[in-house]
Structure 1
Amino acid sequence: MSTKVKSADDLPKKPGIYIMKDSEDKIIYIGKSKSLRNRVKSYFKDKYDTPKTQILMSHFNSLEYIITDSEKEALILEANLIKKHKPKYNIRLKDDKRYPYVKITDEDFPRLIITRNITKTGSYFGPFTDVGSVRQTVKFLKSLFKIRTCRRMDGPCLNSQIDLCYGPCGGNISKKEYKKLISKIDLFFQGKYSQIIKNLKKEMKEAAISENFEKAAVIRDQIISIDEIMEKQFVDFKDELDQDIIAMSFDGDSAIVVVFSVRDGKINGKDDFLMSGAKNNKSNEVISAFIQQYYGINRHVPKEIILEEAIKDKEEEKLLLDWLTDLRGEEVEITVPLEGSKLRLIRMVAKNADLIKKQKKKMKNAMIEIKKYLKLEKLPRIIEGYDVSNISGKLAVGSKVSFKDSIPNKKQYKRFKLETPGPDDYGMMRELLSRRLKPLSEGEGEEPNLILIDGGKGQLKIAIEVLKKYNLEHIPIIGLAKEFEEIFIPQSQIPIRIPKTNEGLHLLQRVRDESHRFAVTYHRKLRSKEIEGSELDDIIGIGKTRKINLLKHFGDIETIKKADINEIANVKGLNKKVAKNVYDYFKKTVQKVQ
């Protein structure tokens, strides 16, 4: 529980954290100290040491504090409270990307799952930026070590019957043996591949000595599988290392921090983070705050952390090292290389940070350009794109894609099977937008800053009508016609032409092209399903090519059924004889139904 104070003299000379608030009782800064009284007193001076302190104190109104048993405890509490309250004047690690983690559950027979939420139970590894790769890895490990996947252990499942699980629910494996499998997976995600191989070879030898050749063969296959996946996924170094290499690049009020992870002598991860509130702070202060918040959640702490520059506050560095050592369970080292391979590594990571900064700046510039050309009130951080796809009105589908801060936000993508009879592209667009915007008008979901329609004046007119119907006319909307890359806006007959080299136009084109791709992909998927399992397969003379030609020509089976012989014969690749077979087949089918 925190305690309010009126004066710095009221504070104890003990370790703890102090919480600064503004006149609205909102937390604006959280700090730690080994002596609360001495630290807080330093804020109340006639002249401030830094511009940051001056700005902070101009908003300061009240202060609370929490005493801790040690400075190390204060460090942990400070990181947790910063993460929870996100004070304006603290340097904060922003992880809006919500990358997934791999979790080993805390159960008698643990499972391996992918999650985006970290709780107090279980062991976590990550975050992982390549979602597809981590899914493949988890799938590989589940099948390799045959651990359970079912949520409830209510009897032998299919996996245990087909030898994909050791079947703990059926009593086929002891807790002790099962925990050995989990320990191997734990080592895998820590990057200790040589340790896994060493343990497996020992088990294989013991199994062979005991003449348990079946078990020895299983272990042999596991060793081969791990060797193969390691060769594919990682870049080798000469030494066996366990390091995190951390570098950063300032970008105005924030800083881009890049982390390369080296485990067992191999690069097995790269990630980037945004530290907000970095303005008016020194680079080593930002890195210190990053280390505190980055390792403050359930992450692997490496043996060595390599930085571009030293943490100048030696007491702060010692505190961080003591804390990291406690987390790891053995000594951790922070180094700043001046030569050799480590210096080359840190330079490589720093170049990555600069490159990401440039890319993020380019993305922001694109949004600024769109705002300028379209005269928008707000920066278009969320842009939604819409398109429809059909063949002569058949198998009509619609797509919605969403870009957030110039990057595809695939969690917000959606596809629709459209019921509007065709061909009627305008009607289909009306249905698509109505199905999306009606829930939005009822308070479901986040409003976009800009809606983009793949099309010109006609499509835009329909979209405006739908917005008006649902009282959403305040949402900016445009149509982007592909032929001349003209942008159509409401209440103007003259299209806007953004220069072809402009970053804003490039972003709008990406949204338009992505909505088109997403719609076409879904349409092809539905067509493939119809082609794969079709009544046409039972007709003499109709193979795969003729079947595709028929469906392309008529759109669907129902239209083929209604066609006469001459119409069927006009289809590419068909003759009168085959056309008669098709006609007679469906005529008989109709008669049977009747």
Structure 2
Amino acid sequence: MSTKVHSPDELPQKPGIYIMKDINEEIIYVGKSKSLRNRVKSYFQKNLDSPKTKVLMSHFNSLEYIVTNTEKEALILEANLIKKHRPRYNIRLKDDKRYPYVKITDEDFPKIVITRTISKTGTYYGPFTDVTAVRQTVKFLKQLFRIRTCKRMDGPCLNSQIDLCYAPCDGQISKEEYKEHIKKIDLFFQGKYNKIIKDLEIEMKQAAERQEYEKAAVIRDQISSIDEVMKKQFVEFENDLDQDIIAIAYTIHNAVAVVMNIRNGKIMGKDDFTMDGSENTTSDEVISAFIKQYYGINRHIPKEVLLEEDIPDKELIEEWLSDLRGNKVSLKVPQKGNKLRLVRMAGKNAEIIKNQRQKMENSMMELKRYLNLKKLPRVIEGYDISNISGKLAVGSKVSFLDGKPNKKQYKKFKMNTPGPNDFAMMKELLERRLKPLKEHYEKVRINEEHTKHNEAETEKIEPLKLGEEPNLIVIDGGKGQLGMAVDVLKEYNLTHIPIIGLAKEFEEIYIPNSSFPIIIPQDNEALHLLQQVRDESHRFAVTYHRKLRSKKIEESPLDEIEGIGKKRKLELLRHFGDFDSIKKASVEELKGVDGMNEKVALNVYNYFHEGEKEQ
């Protein structure tokens, strides 16, 4: 429970954390100190050195504090509160919930699953940035150690019959033996591959001595599989290292942190993270904040963490990390040799990622300037329609966040508008996409009216999250298509959302209330970003349309006709547009389709007109 104070003099000279709030009672900063009174008093000096502290204090309204027994406890509590409340003026590790974790469930016979949420039960590893790689790894481990995959243990399943599961549901393995396999998976995610192999070699030898040759052969294959995966996956160093290497690089608005993980002398991979709130902050403070938040969740703690420079609270953070690991952890700034080479390698990676992000930021800033936008277009949405002669018409919405595809916000639509009429279909697509936004703002307006009259809110309205509303809409087309789209925005009271039409032939950009298009130079990053959005929306729509078309073709009555295979079905549909037109076609018209001959054309015609002959 926090205690509210009105003056720094009321604070105790004890370790703890202090919580600063603005006039709206929003938490704007969380800090820790071994002496709360002395630390907080420094914020109320007349001549503040830090521009960031000056801005913070201009929004300061009230203060609360929590006393802890030790400074280490204060450090842990500070990291937890920053993660929970994400105060505006703290350096914040950007939320990594989008990355998956591997979870070993808390059951008598545990499962290994991939999840994006962390609960209080189970053991977690991650987060992992490469989703495909982690899926392949989990699949490999399930098969290697024959871990169950069923939701409920209802009896032996197919996996047990094909030797992919030890069938604990049928009593074919004890809890103790099963959990030995789980321990090996735990060692795998800790990077202790040599330990796994040594344990397996002992087990194999013991099984052979007991003349359990089948079991020994299974263990031999497990050793071989792990050895093969390790050879393929990781770059190896001469030394037996268990380290994380951390480096920082800065963009205009935030910092990029890169972490390289080395286990048993092998580079396991590299992750990168964004640190918000790093403006006007020294690099050692950013690294310190990153370490506290990065290791504050369930991660492997290495023996050593290599850094580019020393950081505040080094001894305190070492003590905290040592507690988490269970033995000594060191934070080091190497001066020579392989360790310095690794730090420089991490630094180069951070610079590369920073440059990529800076390029994206520059493209958004250029776009803002060319289109005279009020806000930086961090969220750009693109729309497209795909159909054949109006049949199987689909629409797509793609979303880009900070210059990169944000696939969580992609959406595909089956169009209801009869075709062919791309103009009307685009109108339907925009209406269906924008309707939820209209409804959201209508609820906000009604609640504001109720608040004015001191009435209760009609319902709790959650604010829109980043990515849920576009800062810019891009449609494929010129003045005509743009005019239609503007009418939809007016109808839904969403004219605050900027919209443009990008005409493909000359890459001209049309904006509302202007007769002349904007021309962005061909080599400009702003135009490249718009083209990427336009091309991605087209690709997404076409892919969905092809999927539906393939499905329709697979369900086709043409399968029953002699001489018609998948290729001819596709050519017939492409030529005539739909099955009704194929039914009505003459033999001569059918012969005119690519890949058709007179015999097959006659087969198709007779199939659809057989009833007419009988009459």
Deviates more, 1:225-234 or 1:517-526: 225-234
In structure 2, list runs of 5 or more residues that go unmatched: 442-463
Letter in 2 for 1:482: K
What's the counterpart of residue 269 of structure 1? 269
Deviates more, 1:300-309 or 1:453-462: 453-462
The answer as to 2:250 corresponding to 1:250 is yes
What's the counterpart of residue 366 of structure 2? 369
What's the counterpart of residue 448 of structure 2? none
Q: Which runs of 4+ in 1 moved over 6 A?
A: 589-592
Aligned partner of residue 110 in structure 2, secondary structure: coil
What's the counterpart of residue 233 of structure 1? 233
Aligned residue runs from structure 1 range 150-549, under 5 A:
150-311=150-311, 313=312, 316-443=313-440, 446-549=468-571
How far has the Cα of 1:161 moved from its partner?
4.3
TM-score (normalizing by structure 1) = 0.93
Structure 1 residues 97 and 363, CA gap change in structure 2 (3 angstroms): farther
Letter in 1 for 2:143: S
Aligned partner of residue 478 in structure 1, secondary structure: strand
Question: Does the 8 Å contact 1:256/1:356 carry over to 2?
Answer: yes
How far has the Cα of 1:332 moved from its partner?
0.7
Letter in 1 for 2:167: G
Letter in 2 for 1:414: K
Aligned partner of residue 440 in structure 2, secondary structure: coil
- 1:346 and 1:352 map into 2 onto residues whose CA distance is 10
- 1:495 and 1:460 map into 2 onto residues whose CA distance is 12
Deviates more, 1:171-180 or 1:478-487: 171-180
Q: Deviations over 1:10-57 (max 9, x none)?
A: 333322112223344332322222232333344444444544444444
Match of 2:591 among 553, 569, 580: 569
What's the counterpart of residue 76 of structure 2? 76
How far has the Cα of 1:158 moved from its partner?
4.0
In structure 1, list runs of 5 or more residues that go unmatched: none
How far has the Cα of 1:517 moved from its partner?
0.8
Question: Does the 8 Å contact 2:553/2:569 carry over to 1?
Answer: yes
What's the counterpart of residue 35 of structure 2? 35
- 1:442 and 1:2 map into 2 onto residues whose CA distance is 39
Deviates more, 1:469-478 or 1:258-267: 469-478
Letter in 2 for 1:343: L
Question: Does the 8 Å contact 1:450/1:477 carry over to 2?
Answer: yes
How far has the Cα of 1:253 moved from its partner?
4.9
- 1:467 and 1:43 map into 2 onto residues whose CA distance is 47
How far has the Cα of 1:214 moved from its partner?
2.2
Structure 1 residues 393 and 279, CA gap change in structure 2 (3 angstroms): closer
Aligned partner of residue 106 in structure 2, secondary structure: coil
What's the counterpart of residue 60 of structure 2? 60
Question: Does the 8 Å contact 2:97/2:117 carry over to 1?
Answer: no
Aligned identity (percent) is 70
Structure 1 residues 13 and 591, CA gap change in structure 2 (3 angstroms): farther
Question: Does the 8 Å contact 1:389/1:397 carry over to 2?
Answer: yes
RMSD value, Cα: 2.3
- 1:590 and 1:288 map into 2 onto residues whose CA distance is 83
How far has the Cα of 1:533 moved from its partner?
4.9
Deviates more, 1:235-244 or 1:111-120: 111-120
Aligned partner of residue 117 in structure 1, secondary structure: coil
Q: Deviations over 1:403-456 (max 9, x none)?
A: 011110001111122233332222322232232222332229722111111222
Question: Does the 8 Å contact 2:383/2:474 carry over to 1?
Answer: yes
TM-score (normalizing by structure 2) = 0.90
The answer as to 2:124 corresponding to 1:124 is yes
Structure 1 residues 376 and 253, CA gap change in structure 2 (3 angstroms): closer
Aligned partner of residue 267 in structure 2, secondary structure: strand
Question: Does the 8 Å contact 2:252/2:358 carry over to 1?
Answer: no
- 2:502 and 2:593 map into 1 onto residues whose CA distance is 35
What's the counterpart of residue 552 of structure 1? 574
Question: Does the 8 Å contact 1:565/1:576 carry over to 2?
Answer: yes
Structure 1 residues 407 and 96, CA gap change in structure 2 (3 angstroms): farther
What's the counterpart of residue 445 of structure 2? none
Question: Does the 8 Å contact 1:395/1:555 carry over to 2?
Answer: no
Q: Deviations over 1:172-194 (max 9, x none)?
A: 32221221111111111111122
Q: Deviations over 1:46-75 (max 9, x none)?
A: 444544444444443432221112211111
Aligned partner of residue 245 in structure 2, secondary structure: strand
How far has the Cα of 1:266 moved from its partner?
1.4
Deviates more, 1:18-27 or 1:490-499: 18-27
Q: Deviations over 1:154-182 (max 9, x none)?
A: 44444334433222233332221221111
How far has the Cα of 1:259 moved from its partner?
0.7
Instruction: Say how many residue pairs are matched.
Output: 590
